[in-house]
Amino acid sequence: MDFFDRFAVPHPSFAIYASMVAIGLTTIAIIAGLTYFKKWGYLWREWITTVDHKRIGIMYLISALVMLFRGGVDGIMLRAQLAVPDNTLLDSQHYNEIFTTHGVVMILFMAMPFIMFFMNLVVPLQIGARDVAFPRLNALSFWLFFMGAMLFNISFVVGGSPDAGWTSYFPLASEEFSKSVGTNYYMIAIQIAGIGTLMTGINFITTIMKMRAPGMTLMKMPMFTWSALIANLIIVFAFPVLTVALAMGTMDRLFGTHFFTLDNGGMDMLWANLFWVWGHPEVYILILPAFGLYSEIISTFSGRNLYGYKSMVWSMVLISLLSFLVWAHHFFTMGQGAFTNSIFSITTMIIAVPTGVKIFNWLLTLRKGKIRMTTPMLYSMLFIPLFTLGGVTGVMLAMSAADYQYHNTMFLVAHFHNVIIPGVVFAMLAGLTYYWPKMFGFMLNERLGKWTAWLLSIGFVLAFIPMYITGLDGQVRRSFTYSESTGFGPLNMVSFVGAGIMAIGFVLIVYNIYYSIRYASRDISADPWDARTLEWATHTPVPEYNFAIVPEVKSSEPFWDAKKHDHKLFKGEIEKIHMPNNSGMPFLMSCVFFVWGFSLIFSLWIPAIITTIGIFIFMTLRSFEKDHGRYIPVKEIEETESELRGA
């Protein structure tokens, strides 16, 4: 029994047992459904083995929405626990596990795949390419992310969840203080997903730099493509730091090394430095593509070109550089010294300047524009004041002396969510609504979409503004309870109500998708929003090859110019198109990575060695494989184009 004891959850509860049953029943239902409807072959041919950037993007989207639900449930449980004083809904251990997994799931397994969804779907179309530079690597990137996410998410039913916080600070994350395998899950699952993200960064930098349509210089790229390029450059510089830190933490836990221990030459603050050298640029990996989406949406629904194109580009470049110079503001209170704190206080304040430039550019784009208040535009309008509030509180936190008051309180929790929810989540939902017809050939319901935007905004204000007040009054973060004498109860109840309203908003998103699938009109054009950039110049649904003829670009808004100024986008004749073949190797290799990670987590050394060898075998097979892709003949292209024009 000793062998099986290690897989048991160390702190079981009714919720965990219910989750086990739910996971089992869901798995059975999926297998039964695929078998009954005979969809195993379709699933393998069209999705699991696909290298099409659009389908990979949709799989990122599905993963992000599932993780949004998982992380949202965690968030509701946290607010329910703090809704009243001396609550016993969760004990301290379960509270620690839930706020740890909430942070990891929302940042790494919800927000990141949402960003990757937009990059995969939009970037090749915006630059007039037929796919990404390395299609099979793109598939491997997704499946490694997916397996990392699934590995992390089984932790709460097999072996126990991580409980050292989403930052997993040492020595709390060491074997001495985190004895279960939960932190092993953290170290290895994020490592596997992070390898996939790093490969995505390399892939999209290459795609943007080498595969742009003729005439599309760097300063003629759409703003979302610019934001994707800069975010991926940050990925390439930041994620190796996380990879090294996670490897060192894994060795401390599994092999008894002393990188982050308190003795034998270890240094626990080394983890904090390495984590935030990655962690703060990670915020901009999320926010810059969100800014790019807002730029596209505001320009489209204002009916005019984006104000200050060059200043928008240079502000993003400056943000990316400064993002690597602010990491130590996360430990102003940890004894660095006044001089060091002053340096990082100044750099943190400076980064607000290029961010402010973008706010003014959006406002000036709106000025004199013919604004259409669609659902994506409503999210964008709500974003500006809410995000600005988060930015102002960020400047407050940048003052190192004042940070002693703010740092370990709910004020900081409110600030972070005040930036991420309007800045990233609203952008993702706005972009999802905006690009939905391009993906699926019908639009989401506008009435339900606007109700959702307002519910999320009202819920957000009620959920997080009270935290600023309780934080300033001294309510500490990461604490699972408080006494009635503190007086925090009423405002925490308001926060719980706000979180509940946000939950209703997210349920409404699901209902909107269901309602629109059933009732939305399929009789829409390929350009239902009267948009401005190249992704709207192709058909809906987008054919496998994206463009039958590669477009020729003369401005940063080529499709708008083609519509309004008679610029000819597509010149020449249709020729055969080279496309990559599907491959099951990325999926199979990621499965081996999953088993490898699981084996290391539980110190199953024989399976770990076998799967390590298996990974190298897959790499070797790929190195010697001769797969030159295939050509789509002209006749097939013409038939597809004729059919899509008719549709």
| DSSP conformation letters of 448-480 | HHHHHHHHHHHHHHHHHHHHHHHHHTTPBTT-S
Which phi and psi (to 5°) does residue 572 adopt? 90, -170
107, 504 Cβ separation under 8 angstroms: no
Across 485-539, the runs of DSSP E, i.e. the strands, are none
Helix (H) / strand (E) element for 125: namely helix 112-126
What angle do helix axes 426-440 and 53-82 make, rounded to 10 degrees? Answer: 150
β-strands 630-632, 577-579: how paired? antiparallel
520, 443 Cβ separation under 8 angstroms: yes
130, 545 Cβ separation under 8 angstroms: yes
In which band, very low, low, confident or very high, does the pLDDT at 201 lie, cut at 50, 70 and 90? Answer: very high
Taking the C-alpha atoms of residue 277 and residue 284, their distance in angstroms, rounded to an integer, is 12
Helix spans in 602-633 (H): 605-624
Taking the C-alpha atoms of residue 352 and residue 392, their distance in angstroms, rounded to an integer, is 9
Token pair, residue 610, equals: 């076998």
* pLDDT score recorded for residue 246: 96
* pLDDT score recorded for residue 11: 84
Whether the per-residue pLDDT at 6 is higher than 80: the answer is no
Q: From residue 419, how far is each of 114, 241, 390 by CA, in Å?
A: 16, 24, 5
pTM above 0.85, yes or no: yes
Residues pairing with 631 in the sheet: 578
457, 508 Cβ separation under 8 angstroms: no
How many CB atoms are closer than 10 A to CB 228?
Answer: 28
In which band, very low, low, confident or very high, does the pLDDT at 451 lie, cut at 50, 70 and 90? Answer: very high
- DSSP class of residue 542 equals P
Helix (H) / strand (E) element for 577: namely strand 577-579
In which band, very low, low, confident or very high, does the pLDDT at 1 lie, cut at 50, 70 and 90? Answer: very low
In the chain, the percentage of residues whose pLDDT exceeds 90 is: 83
